[in-house]
Structures are given as structure tokens and as C-alpha cells.
Amino acid sequence: KWKGEGTTQNLESIVIGRCYDYIRIVNPSVGEKNCSQIWEAFKNAFINKDPCSILPKDYELFINLTLHTIPPNKSLFWENNQLLVNSFADRGRRYMSLGDTLFGFVGDFLNWCGQADSPGLDYESCPTTMECENNAVESFWRMASITYAQHSSGVIHVLLNGSAEGGAYPQPGFFADYEIPALQKDKISQVVIWVVDDIKGPDIDSCGTHTVKTLETRLKTLGYDVTCTDN
Amino acid sequence: MPLQQGSARMRQRTVLLVGIVVLLAALVLAVVLASLLTHGRHEVGPKMLKWKDRGTTKNLQEVILGRCYNYITAQHPELGDKDCLKIWESLKDAFIYKNPCNITPEDYQPLLELASHPIPCNKSLFWSKTGELVHRYTKSNQNFLTLEDTLLGYMADRVSWCGDPSAPGINYESCPKRNECESNPGSVFWKTASKMFAEAACGVVQVMLNGSVEAGAFRSSSIFGSIEIFNLDPDKVSEVHIWLMQNIGGPQSESCSGHSIQRLISILEERNFKIICEDNYRPVQLLQCVHNPDHTDCRLCTNST
């Protein structure tokens, strides 16, 4: 029916398991959370609805239940280099990327959607963002990204891929459309941009050129103190 | 005189009745009190043994199940036929209601059978005293697998568990430390799983050792030194590559020519393995350099290239 992959098998066990894994082992400093309640809030955001009608604010309760502080100077934003970011952030020890927060951790690399007039998850297929923007997964990450940016403070870092086709700073993109607008200017002291090329990859973009220049200009116009480093 | 007897008997009966009612009331009160008291204490059985190490991880079942499904669904779909519920049950049965000082490798056999999976040749990566670094390496280079990157190790990593003969059979308060008793659920698990991991290795195997530890990079008392090297199968494993890593700018306690390494090499050669030892294997050193990018050892061009 839809063009995208269906819901990940055993989604409930994975989400609840990841939730407890996070609060008991990965980052116990976030304190006690009710993981069953969190699963319910997550699920209720998209089940029994037209899978093309899910909005970011449908995840509001889920976010409220999973929210925790992000230590200042530890936020790491990124585009087109998720594996590198995961490696570099070292599961929150060096930096805390969105995937290292509780709300990002439970959803990372998973897929899900529901169906209208049925409480079940659709394991057959799910709409891609090209088929419809307001799908369960897209809206989840929009909400999570906005929340992540809103709660970031101090020196924030952005890791961009200088070898990416189309430029290191994608527009449209999550950083451009959801994260930058949600940053709290009075809480942020500096924006540090890193443009890193793939080893043996092409040097398509760098600081001061093309899309990176666009990003630097935009941030400076917004009033941020911006630095940029290549590789 | 019947009337007097009658009233005396009535009085007796009344006293008896009152006595029975009072007794019944006391009984009911006792039952209510007992249930209230035991309800408050049902998580920590009053007779549970007390130990010196941290207790069973809370929500152990959810964590283990979630990790199992995460591993076979999101990370290794070729293992899709594994039954995570059965795997959890077999782990639980290995230690629940048992005295945590009496655990044997046989207790874990059903779990090992259900959760084990083949490991591609040339990918096994053993380690000793390099836990953080070796796992950072396998996270960024999926060409190598430590025990903690297999389903079994992935589920159990950084999690603890132990049982107790009294209800509810799992001790969330404390678990035995190794020096309290060796045959505790955690130690026996890791020894048994390590033995199986070594037995499953084939082709060229790798081991990452720490050349900055005072007590020596290779210790016979470590799991690697006491279990893994003796369970490598000479019919399956051809070579052992040693990566001897020193801390950047840290003490250079030992290198490939050091005493304990020579001892390790002789043990392995006696078992007919070919050995290659490399000081500060570059790909791993580059990971260490993330923390020390300005150190001379971290320059992009070294004299050797």
C-alpha cells in the first residue's frame, strides 16, 4: 500500500527495553521514568489515525515524559554523517547528540506507523516522506529535533559532511528548518561548525563557500558568535 | 434449681460466645497485620542474603528482552529466528531462586545454546584491560567483533543479576563480589561465554592488550589469559595478531618485546598458532588521538609511512 518499510517488528519491546536501558545503564542521571507510560504516549501519537495526518505536537506527551536536561556545551548537531556522529559523541560521554538523549535513543533506526480505524501497527508498509510529510516517523523527528535545540545551551557544535552531494548544509533539512529556529539565543554562547570531508572523498563544500557560507551568514545575521573549521 | 441453672448456663454460654468473638477478632486482626507487614517487605525477602556488590539491575527483564529484539531486528536481521522470550526465560532459570554462590557453567547451557550464533572467520577480537577503547573501535569498524558485539554479550553487557533461595528469587539489593565467592552468576556467565566465544573463533584472531598497565599487558589471571587462549581451536584458528596499545602520552610499561608478551607468545606458539605482535596498531591509535589531537604521536604523517 505504501512505499516505505513497515513498522519494525517487536517495536513495543524494543522501545520499552531501550527506555529502561537508558535510565538504568546508559544515563541513570536522568532519574526515574515510567517506561510503560512513555510507550503508551509514544503509541497514542499515531495509532488509530490516518498515517498521513500525524503532527509533531501529537508527540507532546511523549516528549514531556522523556525530557531531561542536556548538559551545556555538549550539544552536537549534524547532517549526513550519522555514523561518524555516533562514533564521535561516544554515547554521550564526549557529546550528547539527539540520539544520546532518552527521546532520541528510543526511536533511533526504527520505523513505525499506524492505520485509520484500527489500533494496530502497520507491519506491511508505511508512507515515505515523499508520499506524505505528516507521517509518524517524520513528525517524531521534527518534534525531537525542535525539543533538542530548545534545550541546548552554551557552546553548540554542528558537524557537517563536506563531501555530501548538494552541499554540507542541506536545505530543506532538519538543522535548517527545525533546529536553528528552535535555538534559544540567550542560552547559546557560540556556534562551532565543523565541516569534515569523507576520507578519500570529494571536497565539495568547506567553510566560507557555497552552502556553508549560507549557514554562517544566516547564523551571524541571527546574532550568533560563529566559528568554522575544515577537517 | 432449674431456673438458677438455666441462667448460669446462659451466662456461661454468653461468656463462651464473647470469648469466641474476641478470639475471632484477634485472629482477623493478626491476619490483616501479617499481610500488611509482608506486603511492605515483599520486594526484599526478610531472609535474603546480603552481599557487597550492586544488586540485580532493575527492570532486568525489559532490558534483556529489549536488547535481544534490538539486536536481532534492527542490527542483525539474519538472526530473525531467535526466540527472545525463550532466551530471557533461560537466562532467568539459570539463577532464579538459587544460592548465588553455587552457580555452574551447566546452569547457563540452555541460554548459550539458544543465544549463540556463528562468528565469521578473521573477525574475533579479544581484549584485556582495554574495554573502553576496544568497544569504541568495534563500534566504528564493524569488521571486528568482541564478545560484547555478539548477541549474548550484547544482552549482558554492564548488567548484573543474582538470585536468592527466598522469594521473589531475585536479589535486587546486592550480589556477591568475586572475592566473596567465585561461583557467582556474573563471573560464571562471563567465563562460560568467553570460553564459547574462543571456541567459535576461526581464521585470524586479534587481541587488544594494554601496554600502559603496571602489572603487565598479559596476565594469566585474566579471562583472556586463563580461559580464552586455551579454548582457541588450533584446527580452526591459524594466526593470533596482538595489538599492544599504550595510552597517548601515557606510561610505556610494556611493548611487544616485554616479558609478559613473550610469555603469551610462547604459550600460543606451543599450541601451534602463528603470532604477530604490533605496538600501537595505527587504526586503533587514531581513535585514541581523538582525545589528544595535538600529541606528536597523533600527527597525520608519521616517520614510518
| Tens-place pLDDT, residues A23-45 | 999 999 999 999 999 999 999 99
SS3 of A200, please? coil
Stretches where chain B sits below pLDDT 70 are: 1-8, 34-46, 301-305
A→B interface, C-beta within 8 Å: 8-10, 13-21, 24-25, 35, 83, 86-88, 90, 94, 109-110
Distance in angstroms (rounded) separating the CA atoms of residues A99 and A84? 12
The pLDDT of residue B1: 47
Distance in angstroms (rounded) separating the CA atoms of residues B219 and B175? 26
CA-to-CA dists, residue A138 to A2, A10, B7, angstroms: 15, 20, 89
The answer to whether residue B82 neighbours chain A at the CB level (below 8 Å) is no
Min Cα distance B169 → chain A (Å) is 21
The answer as to whether B43 is a domain residue is no
Average pLDDT over residues A199-221: 95
* A83 touches B141 (CB < 8 A): no
Average pLDDT over residues A6-35: 97
The pLDDT of residue B41: 45
**For testing the chain B interface, which of A11, A12, A24, A200 should be mutated: the one with the most B CBs within 10 Å?**
A24
In A1-41, DSSP assigns E strands to: 4-5
Answer yes or no: B162 catalytic.
no
The pLDDT of residue B69: 97
The answer as to whether B38 is a domain residue is no
Q: CB-side exposure of A130: number of CA atoms within 13 Å?
A: 3
Q: CB-side exposure of B34: number of CA atoms within 13 Å?
A: 6
Q: Give the nearest chain A residue to B160 (CA atoms).
A: A25
Q: How many domains does chain B have?
A: 1
The pLDDT of residue B172: 97
DSSP B170: B
Instruction: Please write the tens of the pLDDT for every residue from A111-166.
Output: 999 999 999 999 999 999 999 999 999 999 999 999 999 999 999 999 999 999 98
The residue with cell 568497544 is B135
The continuous run of DSSP H or E covering B231 comes out as helix B229-231
Distance in angstroms (rounded) separating the CA atoms of residues A40 and B114? 31
Distance in angstroms (rounded) separating the CA atoms of residues A231 and B3? 114
- Percent with pLDDT over 70 in chain A: 100
Nearest-CB residue to B63 (from A10, A20, A90): A20
CA-to-CA dists, residue B98 to A143, B103, B169, B184, angstroms: 47, 8, 7, 10
Please state the φ and ψ torsions of residue A169, each to the nearest 5 degrees: -110, 95
The pLDDT of residue B20: 84
The answer as to whether B31 is a domain residue is no
pLDDT band for position A68 (cuts 50, 70, 90): very high
The answer as to whether B129 is a domain residue is yes
The answer as to whether B229 is a domain residue is yes
B120-153 burial by CB neighbour count: b if 16+ within 10 A, else e? eebbbbbbbbbeebbbbbbeeeeebbbbbbbbbb
Average pLDDT over residues A89-113: 94
Chain A residues closer than 8 Å to B57 by CB: 24-25
The answer as to whether B27 is a domain residue is no
The answer as to whether B148 is a domain residue is yes
The pLDDT of residue B5: 56
CB contact under 8 A, A24 and B58: yes
For chain A, list the domains and their CATH numbers: 11-230 (3.40.50.720)
CATH number of the domain that residue B145 is part of:
1.20.82.10
Q: Before A72, cis peptide (omega within 30)? A: no
The answer as to whether B42 is a domain residue is no
Grid coordinates standing for A180? 536553528
pTM: 0.87
Grid coordinates standing for B278? 604490533
**For testing the chain B interface, which of A5, A12, A14, A91 should be mutated: the one with the most B CBs within 10 Å?**
A14
Where in the sequence is the domain holding B128, given as residue range(s)? Answer: 53-298
Q: Point out which residues pair with A79 in neighbouring strands.
A: A160
Distance in angstroms (rounded) separating the CA atoms of residues B85 and B98? 21
